[in-house]
Structure formats: C-alpha cells, structure tokens
Amino acid sequence: MQRPMEGLRVLEVAHYVAVPAAGALMADLGAEVIKVEVPPRGEIYRRTRLKYMGVDSDFSEYPAFQMENRGKKSIILDLTRPEARAAALKIIDAMDVVITNLLPARRRKYELDHESLLERKPSLIVGAISGYGLGGEEADKPAFDYAAYYARSGMMDALHDEGLPPSMLRPGMGDHAAAVNLVCGILAALRLRDATGEGRYVDVSLLQTGLHILGNDVANALVSRQSPRRHDRRHAPNPLWNSYPVAAGRWLLVVMIDSQAYWPRFCRAVEAPELREDPRFENDRSRMKNAPALVERLEAIFAERTLEQWRPRLDAAGLIWAPVQRVDEAIRDEQARAMGYFPELDHPTAGRFETVAPPFRIEGVPLAPTRAAPDLDAEAEEILREAGLGEDEIARLRSHN
C-alpha cells in the first residue's frame, strides 16, 4: 500500500536531533528525504559511537544517528561557498519541503530563509525548529532541548520531587517532541497547499513545545499565576497515585487517580483489609488528610514482595499500575514486542540491528523504516544530476569536499 508522503521530496539542512528526527519520520511516511551535510566529515552526530559514552559495545555505527537519519540520501554541500548555495537552490527547485534548524541569521546568510525560498518557489513548504521561535530578541539564540524545552519551560523545576535537586533531561526527549510537531505542521501546510497551491512557513520552537507538553500545569498557571506544587511522595495527596519501593531495590508506580473507585480492590490486592476498616482511610478526603500515615503503611506493604510477585496480584485486581522499568527492560517489554515497536534494519557494515519505530501506526499502511541511514555523501552525484548540474559543475563542487 502507498505510504502517505510517497512522491513528496524533502531537503533537510540540519544537524543533531530535532529536525533530522522529523526528516526520518517523513522518510518513514514515504517521502524522499535528502540530507545536506557539511564537509569534510559530515555532521558531528554521525561520528559518535556507543563506546565514547562508556557503553560496552563494538557496534560500528551510532544507533541514535541511525534512528534520526534512516531512509535518507546524503550529500555534502559547503554552504559557505556561493557555488554550493547555488547548487542547493537548484535542488530545492525540485523539492516540496525544506526543513532546517539553522538559526535565522544563518538562513538569511545562506539564502535559505523562508521569505527568499517562498519568493523563489511559492508552492514550497519550509519548516524550521529553533530554540525560542522566529521572533523576539532571542530568535538567533542557540539552544538544545535541555535549555529551551526543559529548563526554560518550567518542566525541569516542576518534575523533581520536593526537597531533591533537579534532574537532567535524557538525550533527545524534547527534540523528538518538537520533531513530531514539525511533521504535524508540515502535513497541515501540505493540506493547505493542496487546496490553494500556496506554500507556507511552519515554525516550531523547543520552548513552545515544552510549554505544550507541560500544558496542564501551564494552563493552570496562566489563570492562577502560581507554579504547581511539586510532587512529594511521602506526602502525596492521593497515596494511590504514587511511587513505592519494593523488595530487591526496585520500584513500582500506582496510578489510581480516582482513588475511591479503586480503594476496595486495592486493599484486597495488597492483602490489607484492615486499611478499609481504618477510619483515617475510609474515603478520599480522609486519605488525603492522613496521607503521610497511609504512604508509610503502603511502603511497608510493598516492600514485602518483589516486582514479579506484585505483578500478578495487581494485574488480577485490574489496578492501574506499572513497574518502574530500566531501559534495558523496556526494550524487552512483551507488549512493546507484540506491537512491533522495534523494527529491524540492515546496515551494509554494521549488520542487522533493531531501532525505534515511528510513534504512531496507520492501519494497513507500512510505516517501518525501509533502510539504514546513508553513508556520508553517498548519493551526491545522483542528487546533483537530478538538479540539472553538468558534469563539470559537479566535479568542481566535489573537488572541495
């Protein structure tokens, strides 16, 4: 079956994670995606290896780079050179979409700003991800998702438990959220182009993405002008919505937001009928008032068994809960495996390996990645010929890479 973006052509002028991740999703959806890289060695993310991160692995590629760049074609273009910029514009003439994470000033310097591109090709869709958006005083401020998405949005402050220092973000989390936003915006812009024939500029920022992801708290703060209370697991207002340590040094999370509905079966599942008879815990209000005492009692109960011992008891009772899994456990999760969330790819030198599937499924449409990330500059001559460059022009461009 035809994939949704089949027949569309995308040029990506980007590095690191957010925009390349969007390009990979569009390749998964069937688009032809051409990745522009810088000479002489391509983007720095390509050259990372697991062993540099202290991981005991002899895998010859960087799996995260493969995830963000699968299914693409690669060309080296030194955009500081006029002839390379001219070649890029010729390539863009045959594109439907251009995506970039170059800062606005650099886009203008390289003639890749959306105003210039849309003047050159009015039907083009141009999409960009930046730290803080196209306007305002910080439009050209460099950023990673750690700063703009996590710290500036209020997320870093809100997510750590009371009394504990803030934790760092894991790599690429905000970037992946922004990537999905960019793809969503581009699909909407393509829909408009289908109706009007006119291109559009799609602007995504890491800051706005963070504010949207934290939207419940942000919406409340916009009205109250107050920050949300941080979670304090020893004084959780609803002890049935809390984390608890279990035997063997592990943790589980219970998520019964409507605690009154679950309270009787919860007490049966943890074999503590006396809790139902305790007047301090008879309803959600009294449990909130006496939360520290209930949390302390539940800690003692949960500590009596391991995760594997708790699993059948909590599942049989129909409770909403989850083990706090390590990442190496999450990739073995039976449900994730059953759903095909880890498709396999073949790499010409690294061999066969698993990667992460797109974050959605469309019934009857194959969305799994079709091939690994390209070798550096692998399709350069093909791309330049398709753009109409002659052999002498191609030779001159290639001689500087």
- 156 and 268 both lie in a single domain: no
Q: How far is CA 34 from CA 20, 149, 203, 243, in A?
A: 10, 27, 20, 45
By CB atoms closer than 10 A (0-12, 13-18, 19+), residue 7 is exposed
CATH number for position 293: 3.30.1540.10
191 and 165, same structural domain?
yes
Q: How far apart are CA 128 and CA 101, in angstroms?
A: 6
- DSSP symbol at 32: E
- Cα distance between residue 163 and residue 235, in whole Å: 12
pLDDT above 90 for 23: yes
Indicate the number of domains in the chain: 2
172 and 116 in a common domain: yes
With residue 186 as reference, give the H or E element that holds it: helix 173-196
Token duo for residue 83 = 């002839």
**Are 27 and 134 within one domain?**
yes
Is there a contact between 330 and 336 (Cβ–Cβ < 8 Å)?
A: yes
228: in domain: no
Do 358 and 305 share a structural domain?
Answer: no
**pLDDT score of 178 more than 80:** yes
The CA-based dihedral angle spanning residues 133, 139, 145, 147, taken in that order and rounded to the nearest 10 degrees: -130
Angle of helix 173-196 relative to helix 18-28, nearest 10 degrees, comes to 50
Residue 124 lies in a domain: yes
CATH number assigned to the domain comprising residue 156: 3.40.50.10540
Flag whether 1 is in a domain: no
In a shared domain, residues 199 and 264:
no
The one-letter code for the residue type at 60 is S
The alpha carbon of residue 171 and the mean position of all alpha carbons in its chain are separated, in whole angstroms, by: 9
Handedness of CA 288, 294, 295, 298 (dihedral sign): negative
Q: Please give the pLDDT value at position 1.
A: 78
Same domain as 299, residue 206 = no
Q: Provide the pairing of β-strand 125-130 with 200-205.
A: parallel
Q: Is residue 207 part of a domain?
A: yes
Q: Return the percentage of the chain with pLDDT > 90, whole number.
A: 96
Least confident of 38-52, 242-256, 288-302, 303-317: 38-52
In a shared domain, residues 144 and 183: yes
pLDDT-derived band of residue 30, with 50, 70 and 90 as boundaries?
A: very high
Q: Is the pLDDT at 315 greater than 90, yes or no?
A: yes
> pLDDT tens, 107-129?
999 999 999 999 999 999 999 99
Residue 242 confidence (pLDDT) = 98
Domain boundary among 324, 343, 370: 324
| Any domain includes 329 | no
Last residue of a domain, one of 274, 305, 324: 324
Quick one: DSSP state of residue 279?
G
Q: Is residue 4 part of a domain?
A: no
pTM, entire model: 0.96
Are 294 and 382 part of one and the same domain? no
Contact of 321 with 255, CB cutoff 8 Å: yes
Instruction: Verify that 197 and 170 share a domain, yes or no.
Output: yes
* pLDDT reading at 401 higher than 80: no
Whether 220 is covered by a domain: the verdict is no
- Does residue 41 share a domain with residue 100? yes
Instruction: Please state the rounded mean pLDDT for residues 158-163.
Output: 92
Cβ pair 381, 394 in contact under 8 A: yes
Q: How confident is the model at residue 381 (pLDDT cuts 50, 70, 90)?
A: very high
Among 292, 324, 356, the domain boundary falls at: 324
**226 within domain boundaries:** no
Q: Do 299 and 338 sit in the same domain of this protein?
A: no
- Full residue range of the structural domain in which residue 132 is found: 9-215+334-399
